[in-house]
Structure formats: structure tokens, C-alpha cells
């Protein structure tokens, strides 16, 4: 990887590398590296090749880049990829990269999310959602139709470690999918610019200031769906440590910046089960459908278990969460 990045830097005029390329931890889909030259330090993101092979992948990234500029123009605190001759995505040696100026700061530990950070994160999401709002009255909701029984059979055939996780939780997964689809049918017909990946790992903090990173998931979403998903992640559900005060703070910050008038958030709690889509992706990873790479398969195995645990936890705290949603929205 050092050789490829070195050739890329020399070609685009960033200079020679002065140190080894150092991997930066945290990414579940892409790889991040810290790269030094004589004059500056950069963060370099190497995009997952399997993702780039998907139909429409380059169009999706181009749209995210366009929306990244929209956020910049609206003074949203983001860490944007550097442009070279008006291009952000760089290619070298058959790999695709985004290059960023290195930003000092820290990512919040999922186990130690402060209430004031939830307030700030909610404010930022609200500011993003307030930029542009579209009515989609006649749009048919996209429902989840994951065939978990098919994956169960395939996992058994391949003697995959995920077989037992799927077998033990089949009833839970079918329940969650039903709840998710019911909630999607109840969402208000609104679409906004959104960063649905703006969870705690994708905000960097420096002296109390927040900066949104990893913007390649920028797109258009339903604001209620996006708000519920992210509010719950900031409230601790990812680690099984839900804190109602953090949920309240996120919603307070969000509604201060953007309020579309919807008041039935507790009735669409099933949106929280959108994790099923991440689960399906990781089932495919674990079964070698996405890639035959051993590291990808291992990551899939791990994330299948983690995601099912998360879905189970969300089902257990539903009543507690809905009490907050009913009272605060």
C-alpha cells in the first residue's frame, strides 16, 4: 500500500512520503492511513474494492461529493476530501482513494458518549436536514424483503459460524423485519439531504468543537427515519447501554435546528431495525458472497453476531425508548 500511495502522491504533486504509511483503526468497510510528507500530514482513505464493483457505486460517490460541497456552502462543520483538478476521488494502481488534511482530535468512545455531545450531534443533523426539504407524497416506501431462511440454509451448507446465530434468532429477525416495514409505511412523505452514517465514530472532537468525517454516505433520506436511527446510536444502543438522557439531548438539539411538524416518533420505533440491512450485508460477507477475501469473511462473522445482539437489545428496550419519544417529540 505504501508504494501505491507514494506513486499517487508524487503524481498529484503532494510530494514524497517521509515516513511509513500507518494504518488508522476504526473502519469496518474501508481502510484509513496516516501519511506524512515533508510539508504536511494527510489522512488517506482506501475504498473497499468490493464496494466499488457494485452497480452505481461511482454515481453514488459522485452524488455524495456534490452534497459534501452543499454542506460546506451551508457552513456545516465537515472534514472534506481534498480536490485535485476539481476531482476528489483519486485512482492509483486499480485502487480508489480520498485524501484529507489530517485533523487533530479524537473520536468519541461508544462506551463514553457525553450528553453534551449528543446535543451537539443532534444540532448538526438538524442543520443538515434543514438545508433542503422535498415533498414525496406519491413515493412508495422501500420495504425490507430479506430472506433469512435462504441465508440460513446456505450457512448450514457452508458450515459457516453464522449458522447458529441465524438459527437461534430467526423469530426475532422476522419480527424485526415486520416492525421495520410497518414503520416505513407510517413515515411522513418528506425527503431531505442527510448523513445517515453520522454516528459517534464519524464525528471528531477538538476542544469541544465537532467535525463530521466520512461523508461518502451523504444522500437523500426521510428525516424522521434518519433522526431515530442516529439518536438511538448516540443514546448508547450500539453497546447495549441505553441512556434516556442522551436520547433526550440528541432530540432537543435536533428539533431546535429542524422541526417538520411530525409528532408520532414513538409509532415508528420499528425504524430502529434498519440494522437488518447491515446484517444482510455482513451475512453475505461471512458466506463469501461479497468477497472471497478471508479478512472480509472474518469481519462478516464478527459483525453478524454483533448486529444480531444489537437487534435483540433494541427489541428489549422498545418500551423505554418509546416513553421518551412520546414525551419529548
DSSP per position, 62-122 = HHHHHHHHHHHHTT--B-PPPPBTTB--EEETTEEEEEEE----EEPPTT---HHHHHHHH
Residues 173 and 311 in one domain: yes
Residues 41 and 141 in one domain: no
pLDDT per position as a tens digit, 246-295 = 999 999 999 999 999 999 999 999 999 999 999 999 999 999 998 888 99
CA 213 and chain centroid, separation: 11
d(C-alpha 74, C-alpha 181), whole Å: 34
Does this model's pTM top 0.85? My answer is yes
The partner residues of 184 in beta bridges, in order of sequence, read none
Compute φ and ψ for 146, nearest 5 degrees. Answer: -85, 125
d(C-alpha 103, C-alpha 211), whole Å: 9
Mean pLDDT in residue range 100-123: 93
Of the candidates 72, 102, 132, which is a domain's last residue? Answer: 102
The CATH number covering residue 179 comes to: 3.90.1200
Residues 64 and 197 in one domain: no
In a domain, 108, yes or no: no
In a domain, 228, yes or no: yes
Cell of 175: 419480527
pLDDT higher than 80, residue 27: no
Residues 139 and 256 in one domain: yes
In a domain, 253, yes or no: yes
Of the candidates 102, 129, 149, which is a domain's last residue? Answer: 102
pLDDT higher than 80, residue 124: yes
d(C-alpha 307, C-alpha 162), whole Å: 12
pLDDT higher than 70, residue 329: no
Residues 18 and 71 in one domain: yes
Residue 217 CB coordination number (10 Å): 16
Percentage of the residues of the chain whose pLDDT score is greater than 90: 84
Contacts (Cβ under 8 Å, ≥6 apart) of 87? none
Residues 97 and 143 in one domain: no
pLDDT higher than 80, residue 25: no
CB 212 within 8 A of CB 78: yes
Residues 165 and 296 in one domain: yes
In a domain, 273, yes or no: yes
The partner residues of 96 in beta bridges, in order of sequence, read 91
13 φψ region: left (φ > 0), alpha (ψ -120 to 50), beta (else): left
pLDDT higher than 80, residue 29: no
CB 246 within 8 A of CB 234: yes
d(C-alpha 14, C-alpha 293), whole Å: 32
User: How high is the pLDDT of residue 282?
Assistant: 96
CB 257 within 8 A of CB 127: yes
User: How high is the pLDDT of residue 28?
Assistant: 61
d(C-alpha 101, C-alpha 98), whole Å: 10
In a domain, 107, yes or no: no
pLDDT higher than 90, residue 209: yes
pLDDT higher than 90, residue 108: no
Of the candidates 81, 102, 123, which is a domain's last residue? Answer: 102
In a domain, 220, yes or no: yes
Residues 158 and 249 in one domain: yes
At residue 50 the predicted structure's pLDDT band, cuts being 50, 70 and 90, is confident
The CATH number covering residue 77 comes to: 3.30.200.20
Residues 59 and 140 in one domain: no
Domain that holds residue 77: 2-102
Residues 97 and 138 in one domain: no
pLDDT higher than 90, residue 91: yes
Domain count, the chain: 2
Residues 145 and 291 in one domain: yes
Residues 215 and 307 in one domain: yes
Amino acid at each position: 500500500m505504501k508504494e501505491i500511495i507514494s506513486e499517487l502522491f508524487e503524481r498529484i504533486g503532494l510530494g514524497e512520503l517521509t515516513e511509513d504509511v500507518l494504518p488508522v483503526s476504526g473502519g469496518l468497510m474501508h481502510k484509513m492511513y496516516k501519511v506524512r510528507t515533508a510539508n504536511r500530514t494527510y489522512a488517506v482513505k482506501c475504498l473497499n474494492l468490493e464496494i466499488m464493483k457494485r452497480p452505481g457505486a461511482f454515481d453514488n460517490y459522485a452524488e455524495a461529493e456534490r452534497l459534501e460541497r452543499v454542506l460546506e456552502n451551508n457552513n456545516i462543520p465537515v472534514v472534506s476530501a481534498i480536490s485535485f483538478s476539481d476531482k476528489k476521488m483519486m485512482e492509483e494502481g486499480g485502487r480508489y482513494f480520498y485524501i484529507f488534511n489530517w485533523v487533530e482530535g479524537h473520536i468519541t468512545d461508544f462506551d463514553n458518549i457525553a450528553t453534551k455531545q449528543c446535543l451537539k450531534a443532534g444540532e448538526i443533523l438538524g442543520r443538515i436536514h434543514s438545508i433542503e426539504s422535498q415533498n414525496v407524497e406519491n413515493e412508495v416506501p422501500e420495504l425490507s424483503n430479506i430472506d433469512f431462511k435462504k441465508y440460513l440454509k446456505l450457512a448450514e451448507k457452508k458450515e459457516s459460524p453464522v449458522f447458529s446465530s441465524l438459527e437461534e434468532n430467526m423469530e426475532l429477525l422476522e419480527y424485526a423485519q415486520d416492525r421495520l416495514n410497518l414503520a416505513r409505511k407510517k413515515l411522513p412523505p418528506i425527503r431531505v439531504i442527510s448523513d445517515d452514517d453520522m454516528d459517534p465514530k464519524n464525528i471528531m472532537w477538538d476542544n469541544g468543537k465537532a467535525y463530521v468525517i466520512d461523508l461518502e454516505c451523504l444522500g437523500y433520506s426521510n428525516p424522521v427515519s434518519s433522526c431515530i436511527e442516529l439518536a438511538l446510536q448516540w443514546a448508547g444502543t450500539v453497546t447495549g447501554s441505553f441512556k434516556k438522557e442522551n436520547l433526550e439531548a440528541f432530540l432537543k438539539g435536533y428539533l431546535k435546528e429542524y422541526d417538520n411538524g411530525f409528532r408520532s416518533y414513538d409509532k415508528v420505533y420499528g425504524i430502529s431495525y434498519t440494522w437488518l440491512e447491515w446484517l444482510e450485508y455482513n451475512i453475505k460477507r461471512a458466506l463469501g458472497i461479497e468477497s472471497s477475501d478471508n479478512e472480509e469473511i472474518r469481519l462478516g462473522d464478527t459483525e453478524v453476531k454483533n448486529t444480531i445482539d444489537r437487534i435483540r437489545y433494541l427489541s428489549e428496550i422498545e418500551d423505554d425508548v418509546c416513553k421518551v419519544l412520546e414525551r419529548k417529540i
